[in-house]
Amino acid sequence: MTSKCRHCRNALNASFCNLGTSPFANSLIEPQETGAAEKHYPLELFFCSNCLLVQLDAFETPDAIFGNYSYFSSYSDTWVEHAKRYVEKICGAYKFDQNSQVVEIASNDGYLLKEFVARKIPALGIEPAVNVAQVAQAAGIPTINRFFGSSLAQELVGQGLGADLIIANNVLAHVPELNDFVGGFKILLKPKGVLTIEFPHLLRLMEGVQFDTVYHEHFSYFSFLAAEKLMASHGLQIFDVERLETHGGSLRLYVTHQDNDVGHGSGISSLREEELDAGLLSIDGYRKFPDMVRKVRRKLLRFLLDAEESGKVVVGYGAPAKAVTLLSYCAVGADLLQFTVDRSPHKQGRLLPGSRLPICEPDRIKDVKPDYILIFPWNIKDEIIGQLSYARSWGAKFVVPIPEVTIIP
């Protein structure tokens, strides 16, 4: 890779994890397209020694990736409950009311903003995927079907709309033009406004060997140190941080304008020290990760091959993007897994990219009665095991692949 860092434009030459090639993870295949060729793209992580940002190269435009999207947040009970708790907490802390303005970037199907609407707090969603935005609009959530950036922020401010609260959950990683995107926050946020950003924490990703969360739609992977540098370069300051258990371990940043005199939470200094101790200031801190990833691959393949030789039936649960990375890197296809299932009707009847696993309705598990159910969205494994508790009646066991293959009876 000879391109430049998407934040500081420093030349990128430090590779620390190569996952081979993979198709775009959310490009589900229609049944009639099974005979068509698929494009695969390099999936390799690079580290910027200047601004500390970990990133992939960009091989496609955001329009091609996110113009029509297959992920709908409302189908995860765990994530919906997370959103409810967030709204209760933020409204309690900042007393938002009918005179406030909330804006969510990448608002998906309105799963979170509906909580503000129910409280009669003015809310606006900005969602680039046409199909997803339409679902939110149909549910009565004011939603603009656009990509967010400095230009749209200027338009909204010109229309008299500034944000008391901007919410950006799991979107920062999806942005190839980081500076334009974060610059939009600076423009749209009112002088005393608050911005909250959630993203999977790079340190937790590495500790938990969560390599399956690496895919082309995730352009960047943030440590706290890298996020702090990014915000500061746009006149924004992080004044508090929370550690979350979502997505295998995430951070929630509380951000405001740099010239605001606000107190800083104690968690900031401890998190900064933790990342420094882990060696995230240099490429040396990342050297062990590839060996950990290869170990996961060996164990998963060994489990699947042993199950096949023993005549056991293994199926998947879920059709998240992480399943595509996992199966592509491990070279697993329909020879070792019969199918996967998913609650979302937007995914059912289609196939996973790469492996071409059919995506079925969850009731298919009752018909087949598999011996093992491999849980791809391991971050909500407790929710899934609860939904599928009936499978224990015929002795089925659950398998979690990350951070290592674990069989749950």
Per-residue pLDDT reduced to its tens digit, 30-61:
999 988 899 999 999 999 999 999 999 887 76
Q: Is residue 159 a part of any domain in this protein?
A: yes
Whether 88 and 147 map to the same domain: the answer is yes
Whether 187 has a pLDDT exceeding 50, the answer reads yes
Give 189-236 pLDDT, tens digit per residue: 999 999 999 999 999 999 999 999 999 989 999 999 999 999 999 999
Give 77-106 pLDDT, tens digit per residue: 888 899 999 999 999 999 999 999 999 999
Q: Is residue 3 a part of any domain in this protein?
A: no
Whether 66 has a pLDDT exceeding 90, the answer reads no
Whether 400 and 278 map to the same domain: the answer is no
Beta carbons within 10 angstroms of residue 11's beta carbon? 13
- Of 286, 314, 346, the position where a domain reaches its end is 286
- Determine phi and psi for 233, rounding to 5 degrees: -70, -15
DSSP states of 211-260: GGG--TT--EE--HHHHHHHHHTTTEEEEEEEEE-GGGSEEEEEEEETTS
Q: Is residue 50 a part of any domain in this protein?
A: no
- The domain that holds 362 is classified in CATH as 3.40.50.720
Q: Is residue 59 a part of any domain in this protein?
A: no
SS3 label, residue 122: coil
Give 101-116 pLDDT, tens digit per residue: 999 999 999 999 999 9
- Residue 75 pLDDT: 72
Structure tokens at 44: 């390799």
Contacts by 390-396, CB closer than 8 A, 24 or more apart:
390/366, 391/365, 394/369, 395/371, 396/369, 396/370, 396/371, 396/372
Average pLDDT over residues 334-342: 95
**Cβ(40)–Cβ(106) below 8 Å:** no
- Residue 73 pLDDT: 73
- The domain that holds 111 is classified in CATH as 3.40.50.150
Give 116-173 pLDDT, tens digit per residue: 999 999 999 999 999 999 999 999 999 999 999 999 999 999 999 999 999 999 999 9
Q: Report the Cα–Cα distance between both ends of the chain, in Å, rounded.
A: 44
- Residue 65 pLDDT: 62
Whether 157 and 208 map to the same domain: the answer is yes
CA distance 155 to 305: 56
The residues, ordered by sequence, that sit 6+ positions from 157 with a Cβ below 8 Å of its Cβ are 187, 188
Structure tokens at 95: 């007393």
Is residue 296 very low, low, confident or very high in pLDDT (cuts 50, 70, 90)?
Answer: very high
Whether 278 and 329 map to the same domain: the answer is no
**Among residues 313, 321, 336, 294, which one has the least CA distance to residue 173?**
321
Q: Is residue 279 a part of any domain in this protein?
A: yes
Is residue 354 very low, low, confident or very high in pLDDT (cuts 50, 70, 90)?
Answer: very high
Whether 257 and 332 map to the same domain: the answer is no
Average pLDDT over residues 263-274: 95
- Residue 76 pLDDT: 78
Is residue 1 very low, low, confident or very high in pLDDT (cuts 50, 70, 90)?
Answer: very low
**Among residues 179, 197, 193, which one has the least CA distance to residue 257?**
193
Whether 114 and 263 map to the same domain: the answer is yes
Q: Find the domain containing 388 and state its range.
A: 301-408
Whether 223 and 369 map to the same domain: the answer is no
Whether 109 and 224 map to the same domain: the answer is yes
Average pLDDT over residues 292-309: 97
Whether 306 and 385 map to the same domain: the answer is yes
Q: Is residue 78 a part of any domain in this protein?
A: yes
Q: Is residue 52 a part of any domain in this protein?
A: no
Instruction: Say which residue, 65 or 171, is predicted with more confidence.
Output: 171
Whether 240 and 356 map to the same domain: the answer is no
Q: What domain count does the chain have?
A: 2
Whether 250 and 377 map to the same domain: the answer is no
Whether 235 and 111 map to the same domain: the answer is yes
Is residue 63 very low, low, confident or very high in pLDDT (cuts 50, 70, 90)?
Answer: low
* Torsion sign (Cα): 276, 282, 284, 286: positive
Q: Is residue 32 a part of any domain in this protein?
A: no
* Torsion sign (Cα): 40, 45, 48, 53: positive
- Of 224, 257, 286, the position where a domain reaches its end is 286
**Cβ(122)–Cβ(101) below 8 Å:** yes
pTM of the model: 0.92
| Amino acid of residue 387 | Q
